[in-house]
A and B are shown apart, each in its own frame.
Chain A
Amino acid sequence: MYKNKRIRVMSQIFFFVLVGLIGFNHYLSETGQNIGFIGSSSIHAICPFGGVEAMVALLQFGTWIPKIHSSAMVLFGIILVLSILFGPIVCSYMCPLGSIQEWIGNLGKKIFKKRYNHFIPTKLDKALRYLRYAVLIFTVYLTTNSLKLVFLEVDPYYALFNFWSAEATIGGIIVLIIVLLSSLFVERAWCKYACPFGAAVGLTNKISVFKIRRNTNTCISCNKCSVACPMNIDVVSKETITDDQCIRCGQCTSERVCPVNETVELKMAMYTSGFPTSDKEELI
């Protein structure tokens, strides 16, 4: 296994176990038991999307949405800073729902080989990718007006870490099952088409300080970067990846599948005359 992949998988396992333990400890604490060294916050308290959902209501009405606390807002703030620096690495290194889709996807890759992640026609796929923005806007609108955590009814993330408890919703469990099953055919289907948090942090791809950049001077156009991309981004045709769907997993980089050293990298642009050099070239 490549070093890059190993590091990312270790991070994914760490966050999956951490969030799982916190969720389970919360369940235990409700019954008077506790694992001492693990926090027992509810999953809502450590879900940064809660911060996105609650923000407008907090600004407009000065009230917190029930179940959401300041920790969710703090986490959203920290992740926003991280994303402005490096892009949405929260999706590829930390999000447990993304991780479990990826792990199930490994099975899909074995079953369907090259057909995996190419089942959906390109036109339909492109159109569906706007859906997550609709989910984001609709969720924030409904939450702000109803002052209730409406997304909880269909939230697969919450269901993933609460499916054993009475707090899980039927809708959430159904969506979770659909998401996990679809991962057998499409890589990170939830992230691509429906994740409202991914939609929010994905926008930082346009402005992040570090971006995936391809050195056109050394690139041999072997197309391996594009094939490896779980989000189906055509890396080989771009110099700088500003696609809102990039999750900074690093699969396309010279650390992973690119056969030429220092050709596809997560890189900060060199600034000259007020423009990053590569961005300047793009503008020209």
Chain B
Amino acid sequence: MTIKSFPLLVISLLILFGGIWISDVTGLWQTESSKTAEKILEGAFAGEANPGDIRGSYSFEDIRNNFDIQPSLIAAAFNIISDSPEIIKAKDIEAMYGEISEAIEIGTGSVRLFVSIYKGIPFVEGEYLPRSAVVVLKEEGKWNEEIQELMNDYIIDTITDSDTDIDINTNSINATQNDESSLSDVNTNDADSLEEHEVKTTIVGKTSVAEAIELGISLESMEEVLGTEVANMNLYIRDICTQQGLSFSEVKTTLNSLIEE
């Protein structure tokens, strides 16, 4: 049996696009990470989307879809002016604010924290929020004395006047602060507390086992916390937590306390 070029091409296209169509219908065709946050399994909030599962690739639109928070509100919380707040991603915040000091950063973790507080879901302290987020949460009636007490040392006074807001247009992301008003010149409520927490947030979503070891945690301790042997030092701690069904936030807190020790 011989096959000529035309039927060869037609059959190949049918197999290729047919295969893609079938994999799409069966849910195998995923061209990006799932943007559906995992549900909380236990406790009073069981069944609700878990803010701890927000990843850097989540856009504000994805956050709205999962948590019903308006993108414009999140943008305001993080000092962002944008025509299209829905396209901003959590990781963009990290890029805009950068690492404020060696261990203090405003990024995806801050977005998770903001969403947790907004939704009234308990959170593990250790992440920082810009004061603008606190203002928004107060305006929305989501802030109370108890949260204030927990967050006292984790609020960063960024510059909030209109000249220094972070400006995002639809084509690019521009942090408009000049050098003098750089966010690295942050004030905290208490300079001592800043120093005190300098090493607390060093484990982040993209910290690998190897990086955690560099921070001073022994492999044995880490395996004990994770409840499994580490098969590859380059695995993200977050991924191991997911595989083991552990809460990354809780593991992170435990590991950060080990670093302090």
Bound CA span A198–B152, Å: 58
Bound CA span A262–B234, Å: 56
Contact at B9–A42, with CB atoms within 8 Å? no
User: Is B3 positioned at the interface, with any CB of A under 8 Å from its CB?
Assistant: yes
**CB neighbours of B87 from chain A (8 A):** 30-32
Q: Give me the interface of B with A, judged by CB distance under 8 Å.
A: 1-6, 8-9, 11-12, 15-16, 19-20, 23, 28-33, 84, 87, 170-172, 208, 231-232, 234-236, 239, 243
Chain A, interface size: which category? 35 or more
Q: Which of B5, B171, B172, B232 contacts A255, CB < 8 Å?
A: B5
> Could you tell me the distance in whole angstroms from the C-beta of B160 to the nearest C-beta in chain A?
25
> With A74-B20, A147-B235 as given contacts, are A31 and B4 in contact (CB-CB < 8 Å)?
no
**CB neighbours of A78 from chain B (8 A):** 15-16, 19-20
**CB neighbours of A147 from chain B (8 A):** 208, 232, 234-236
Contact at B2–A61, with CB atoms within 8 Å? no
Bound CA span A147–B233, Å: 9
> With A60-B231, A82-B16, A147-B234 as given contacts, are A70 and B5 in contact (CB-CB < 8 Å)?
no
Contact at B3–A86, with CB atoms within 8 Å? yes
> Could you tell me the distance in whole angstroms from the C-beta of A275 to the nearest C-beta in chain B?
16
**CB neighbours of A237 from chain B (8 A):** none
Among all A-B residue pairs, the 8 with the closest Cβ atoms: A41-B31, A45-B31, A78-B19, A147-B234, A4-B5, A32-B87, A268-B1, A70-B30
**CB neighbours of A268 from chain B (8 A):** 1-3
Q: List 18 A-B contacts (CB under 8 A).
A: A31-B172, A32-B84, A45-B32, A62-B243, A63-B243, A74-B20, A74-B23, A74-B29, A78-B20, A86-B12, A145-B232, A210-B3, A255-B5, A265-B2, A266-B4, A266-B8, A267-B2, A268-B1
Bound CA span A255–B31, Å: 38
Q: Which residue of B lies closest to A70 (CB)?
A: B30
Bound CA span A268–B32, Å: 39
**CB neighbours of B171 from chain A (8 A):** 31-32
Q: Which of B9, B15, B31, B172 contacts A7, CB < 8 Å?
A: B9
Further contacts, 20 of them, CB under 8 A, given A61-B231, A63-B236, A74-B20:
A3-B5, A4-B4, A7-B6, A8-B5, A32-B84, A32-B87, A32-B170, A41-B32, A46-B31, A69-B33, A70-B28, A70-B29, A71-B29, A81-B19, A85-B15, A93-B9, A94-B12, A266-B4, A267-B1, A268-B3
**CB neighbours of B208 from chain A (8 A):** 147
User: Is A108 positioned at the interface, with any CB of B under 8 Å from its CB?
Assistant: no
Bound CA span A94–B19, Å: 16
**CB neighbours of A7 from chain B (8 A):** 5-6, 9
User: Is A216 positioned at the interface, with any CB of B under 8 Å from its CB?
Assistant: no
User: Is A273 positioned at the interface, with any CB of B under 8 Å from its CB?
Assistant: no
**CB neighbours of A255 from chain B (8 A):** 4-5
